[in-house]
Amino acid sequence: MNILDQLAGHARERVAQAKREKPLDQLQDEALALPRDTDFPFERALKAEGMSFICECKKASPSKGLIAPEFPYLDIAKAYEKAGAAAISVLTEPKWFQGSDQYLNEIASTVSIPVLRKDFTVDPYMIYQAKLLGASAVLLIVALMDQEELASGIKLCNKLGLSALVEAHDGEQLKMAIAAGARIIGCNNRDLRDFSVDIHNSMRLRALTPDNVIFVAESGIHTPEDVKELQDAGVDALLVGEQLMRAADPGAELRRLKGQTASQYRGRREP
């Protein structure tokens, strides 16, 4: 059993426990009672001119273990926003990533930019949860769903006014994402079967993706040169986690990846 299978199995256990505490019909009623944002702010943010950055709040990961022993997640989120992040990704998976629904809820209430719930969605229940937690988008991983489940998940997101970031790792998964109606496709450059990373995977899949689909490269982005290479390949946005979380100043690291010097950053905001 690879790590993705383990993550999915634990997610199913979490959903089963959550349903005992709050039945699905109650959760649905609460989620559907909230306003539906028909403007889809997450998608709108990623369509802005130039490369968009989805910056991640992540305490740990299965491949790297504990990344951020001290985890002032609200300060990190505010630093990302100030440094020009288009959106923030928040891990809510508790076992391997040491994430929390509380992190997402508090960050979404603190920043003005859209927030993605990054978790291992195995049940529609988790999409309703994301809406109630304040997310603007959810992650749907093709490897965890069949075609019908994927299409249904995207439709539910649309119904709730959420964007779906649909993650594919290879050409077959990409075809499934496109057939399901994905408007945002993310390519995970990390193979969760063995944790190997290759940013050229995004370049290969971008070439196979329709131009009208927003394309996000995920994982393995470390330098401004990586950013430029992906931008030249037609990638619209980057999801960056570990590189930022290991930095002493995540905001400054984001500006470095964007190719901004400290003086350029200050000058852009000073009258």
Is residue 195 very low, low, confident or very high in pLDDT (cuts 50, 70, 90)? confident
Identify the DSSP state of 111.
Answer: -
Confirm whether 187 is domain-assigned.
yes
In a domain, 185, yes or no: yes
Report the share of the chain in percent with pLDDT over 70.
95
The lowest-confidence range among 25-39, 114-128, 173-187, 250-264 is 250-264
Q: Is residue 269 situated within a structural domain?
A: no
User: Tell me, what CATH number does 130's domain have?
Assistant: 3.20.20.70
Q: Is 16 exposed, middle or buried (0-12, 13-18, 19+ CB in 10 A)?
A: exposed
Domain assignment present for residue 66? The answer is: yes
pLDDT, tens only, 196-207 = 899 999 999 999
pLDDT band at 1; cut points 50, 70, 90? low
Distance CA 152, CA 9 (A): 20
- Catalytic residue positions, numbered: 56, 58, 118, 167, 188, 218-219
What does the pLDDT read at residue 194?
76
In this structure, is residue 267 part of a structural domain?
Answer: no
The verdict on pTM exceeding 0.85 is yes
Residue 168 φ then ψ, to 5°? -125, 155
What domain range includes position 104? 3-31+42-261
Residue 270 domain-assigned (yes or no)? no
What token pair was written down for 182? 């994905």
Structure confidence at residue 267 as a pLDDT band (50, 70, 90):
very low
Distance CA 84, CA 258 (A): 9
The average confidence (pLDDT) of the chain is 93
Query: For position 261, what pLDDT does the model report?
Result: 46
Q: What percent of the chain has pLDDT over 90?
A: 88
Compare 70 and 159 and report the one with higher pLDDT. 159
Q: How far apart are CA 128 and CA 28, in angstroms?
A: 6
Residue 46 belongs to what H/E stretch? helix 41-46
| pLDDT tens for each residue of 75-108 | 999 999 999 999 999 999 999 999 999 999 999 9
What H or E segment, with its residue span, contains residue 110?
helix 101-110
Strand 65-66 and strand 60-61: the pairing is antiparallel
Average pLDDT over residues 54-80: 94
Residue 2's pLDDT band (cuts 50, 70, 90): confident
Mean pLDDT of 21-40: 95
Give Dmax over CA atoms of the chain in angstroms.
Answer: 56
**pLDDT of 15:** 98
Count of domains for the chain: 1
| Residues 20, 12: Cα–Cα separation, whole Å | 13
Assigned domain for 268 exists: no
What pLDDT is stored for residue 262 in this prediction? Answer: 45
- Is 22 a domain residue? yes
Please give the pLDDT value at position 93.
97
- For the stretch 116-161, pLDDT in tens is 999 999 999 999 999 999 999 999 999 999 999 999 999 999 999 9
Is the model more confident about 122 or about 270? 122
Q: Distance between CA atoms of 98 and 119, rounded to whole angstroms?
A: 11
